Every structure is written in structure tokens, then in C-alpha cells.
């Protein structure tokens, strides 16, 4: 199969990579700290999408036993991603607490302004 048809048939990987790259660009490229945290959230959710799409079986149902069960989707990625989502929100809460403290100390949450304030603080001390 050609590369392009593979990309379309495995579109879950392509979509996940696309979203991950958007998230990466937001983390690295944006200056605002809150946008960076949201970019981290976007990146994490793209990884979740990757794992859960790998666990799906065509024609399967949710992994809960009921009367007349058929083939189930793989429950192991579900468990992993469940843990990862909760850890992600814990990270977000600590990150937001840090952002609040940064705002109080520096007065701004743009990273180039923060770096400028740090440099300004260092230079008068040397003199």
C-alpha cells in the first residue's frame, strides 16, 4: 500500500499526531503561561486519543459484561488513560497555583517579560 493510503486508513494515528503537534506548538510557541498550560492539556488529550484508538476493535462494544456478550474492546488502555486523565488534572491544578504565584511576584504572565525582569534584576546587582 502506498504511504498516503496508509495515512488515510490509519487516520487515527494521523489525527493524533496532528493534534499533538498543535499542542507542542502551543507549549513552545506561545508566550502566555495559561495558554501554555492549555497547550499541555491539548497535547495530553492527543496521547489519550492515540492509546484509546489503538485499543478499539471494530464491531466491539464497551468492556462491560452483559447478557449475550460479544467481542469487547481492549480494557487495558482504558485503565491507563483513566489514571492519566486524573494525573493530568492534578498537574494542571498545581501549574495554575504556580501561575498565580508568578503573577504576584512578577506582575505578568508572558514569558519574555518575565525573562526581561529577571535579567534586569541580575544586572544592577552585579554593579
Partner 1 sequence: MSENVILRIVSKFLIPLILLFGLYVQAHGDYSPGGGFQAGVIFAAGFILYGLVFGLDELKRVVPLSTTIILMAFGVLLYTSVGYLTMFLGGLFLDYAHLAHSEKHGHHYGILLIELGVGITVASVVIAVYQIFTERATRDGG
Partner 2 sequence: MFLRDLLAVVIIAGVYSLLMAAIFTQLDAVDVAFTEASVGAGISTVLLLATLALIKNQKADKYEWRIPAIILALLTGALLLYSVPAMPLFGNPQNPIHHHVAPQYIQETPEIIGIPNVVTSVLADYRGFDTLGEVTVIFTAGIGVLLLLARRRTKKQ
In the range 20-39, which residues lie near partner 2 by CB under 8 A? 20-22, 24-26, 28-32, 34-35, 38-39
Phi/psi at 32 (5° precision): -75, 135
CA 38/CA 24 separation, integer angstroms: 11
CA 12/CA 69 separation, integer angstroms: 26
- In this complex, which beta carbon is closest to partner 1, that of residue 21 or of residue 100? 100
7 near partner 1 (CB under 8 A): no
The site partner of 8 among partner 2, partner 1, none (C-beta below 5 to 8 Å per kind) is none
One of 3, 64, 119, 127 touching partner 1 (CB under 8 A): 64
76 near partner 1 (CB under 8 A): no
58 near partner 2 (CB under 8 A): yes
| φ/ψ bin of 68: left (φ > 0), alpha (ψ from -120 to 50), beta (otherwise) | left
Which of 99, 90, 96, 88 lies closest to 44 in space, CA to CA?
88
In the range 11-50, which residues lie near partner 1 by CB under 8 A? none
3-class SS of residue 61 = strand
Query: Which residues are at the interface with partner 1 (CB under 8 A)?
Result: 62, 64, 82, 86, 90, 93, 96-97, 100
Amino acid at each position: 500500500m502506498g504511504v498516503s493510503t496508509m495515512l488515510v486508513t490509519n487516520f487515527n494515528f494521523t489525527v493524533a499526531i496532528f493534534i499533538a503537534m498543535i499542542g507542542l506548538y502551543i507549549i513552545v510557541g506561545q508566550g502566555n503561561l495559561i495558554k501554555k498550560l492549555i497547550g499541555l492539556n491539548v497535547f495530553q488529550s492527543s496521547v489519550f486519543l492515540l492509546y484509546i484508538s489503538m485499543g478499539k476493535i471494530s464491531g466491539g462494544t464497551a468492556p462491560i459484561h452483559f447478557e449475550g456478550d460479544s467481542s469487547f474492546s481492549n480494557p487495558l488502555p482504558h485503565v491507563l488513560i483513566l489514571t492519566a486523565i486524573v494525573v493530568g488534572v492534578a498537574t494542571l491544578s498545581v501549574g495554575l497555583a504556580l501561575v498565580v504565584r508568578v503573577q504576584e511576584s512578577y506582575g505578568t504572565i508572558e514569558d519574555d517579560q518575565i525573562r526581561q525582569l529577571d535579567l534586569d534584576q541580575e544586572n544592577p546587582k552585579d554593579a
